[in-house]
Structure 1
Amino acid sequence: MPLIQTKILKIDTRIWWAVFFLAQCLIAALMMISFALPEWTEIKGPIHIKGSLRNVKYFNGKHPDISYDDFYDDYCDTNIIASNNFCDEINNLWNGGGWFEVFEFLSLVSLFLWFGSFTFWVVRCGCDCHYTRRPHYSSLKAILTMVFHFIAFFTWVNVTDASFDDSCKYNVKTDNNPGTCTKDGPNIALFLTIFIPIVVVLYIIVSHVAHQWIIVNYSGQSYYGMQYVRNPGVVYQQNQGYQQGYPQGYVMGQPGVQYAPPQYQGQYPGQPGSYGYEQILNAQSGQAQNPQFAGPGVNLPRA
């Protein structure tokens, strides 16, 4: 099949494939980096804590590197820390981190499935026949990547009551909930929350436009072993084996064409005396030894 020679949003389709490939790699890298970052949260005030997604990394000059759950058991249950709100926040960090891990992992799995199906067909077909198949499944994986990340991020923000500004200092007098200041991890997650929808929307638009373009110009569908390509005004010849043992076939792209096995040479599609589609199929199945001419201007079913 010839390479797609078209532009979508004024950009060549092969450039789009490269952009999506790089975007998927970037999203996967940032997701994995965000999991591993040591700085996700900070609680300021008389009690100063810094932590990763699931662990306390810094506590009043010490570096315990223990989970929020263990920290809660060690410091809150023994009444060393009197503030109930502070302890509630530690518990929320533990729960919020757990929910984030679950849904971000599902988002990452969906991303790998999306990445795998995309790269397999593009590499296999040389960047031009991935979308001869409907892109719905690939688009669904892209949407799931976005949805799972949304759930992960907004659940974490809601459970932890995280703040993306610097107004999260602990108030000793009022004993208010100290709140959680966000650090590098949530900032990357916030960036992905904006970036992923842009990539997904563009991917859906470009893939579906490219698919429709191929259907109109280079269908590539197969009927009873006959491979054909539709491109009005252009004639192709392919070395394509047929299911019934035909060594090759003529693939004609003119309007109103028919596709005849090679033993019917001399009867060119679209001209008086052409073989009709049903007659060809009957001949292949052995049901008709002398198929009748169907006349000109009869098309095969569109893809």
Structure 2
Amino acid sequence: MRILYISLLIFLVGCSNTYTLENQQNENINNIEFQQQLINGTITDIVDGDTIKVQFEGKEETIRLLLVDTPETVHPNKPIQPFGPEASKFAKDTLTLGKKVQIEIDVSERDKYGRLLAYLWVEGKLFNEMLLEKGLARVAYIYPPNVKYVDQFQETQEKARQEGIGIWSLEDYVKVDWLDGDVTFNEVTENESIDPVTTENNSYIQITELNLEEEYITIKNSDNTDMDMTGWSVLSVQGDQRFDFPDSYTIKAGETITIWSGDFSRGVWSSDLYWTEKNIWNNNGDPAQLIDANNGIVDIEG
């Protein structure tokens, strides 16, 4: 009986090891394919928590980390924000000068400032996600098609939020004043502070379409000059929910942009904005207000 038991145990252990080895071989194959997509680089400078300078392929590039936003420390028009210094210190401690890293590009390579948009790997870990784990960043700037890790990042962020780590130790973090104009991630914010003042409809920036069922709104700049949308917002009147344009976001002269909500697997353009994966617009009727930086209503649709 004892011999039978030992034989069975050896058999089970052998089966377990075989299963593990087979999985490990498959992972190694996938890792080889994945590694071939990465670009090797060397850290040369830390601008702040989410902006890193890296030397690779014979030149220095400024990398803006994808899908995350750390509190400001070097913004010319904003004060130093809570946990901004901690995020910068964490970046400097983790990404020391001369550190070897790997760069992963998603789909769109650069932002309008010419910075390389990327995920940064250090010692086998995704630095973008490390910031979220520490509560030193929030998921932000979700612009399809650069959304490879968005679901994973949101799960990591939610864990940090539940534990009250870092920025999530601050009550109503996403609503505080120094975050104005930056809510560009999958977060629906209630319009607690806005009381728009009606103004004349003479702006070159106008709502051209509001599709309640398909969950999108289009906005056009009819002027012959580009328009900086910093401080502008779109309000769902029925739901009392607001989308704030990202700081320094520009609608070019003659350009029409689309702001999507709901399921974003429908194939949006890289130039479009994404509000939230939740449905915003009430199909039974929901006016949209376009509000300028002076809190004036410049257009209403619906």
Fold equivalence (TM over 0.5): no
Structure number with the higher strand fraction is 2
Structure number with the higher helix fraction is 1
**Bin for the TM-score computed over the shorter chain:** under 0.3
TM-score, normalised with respect to structure 1: 0.22
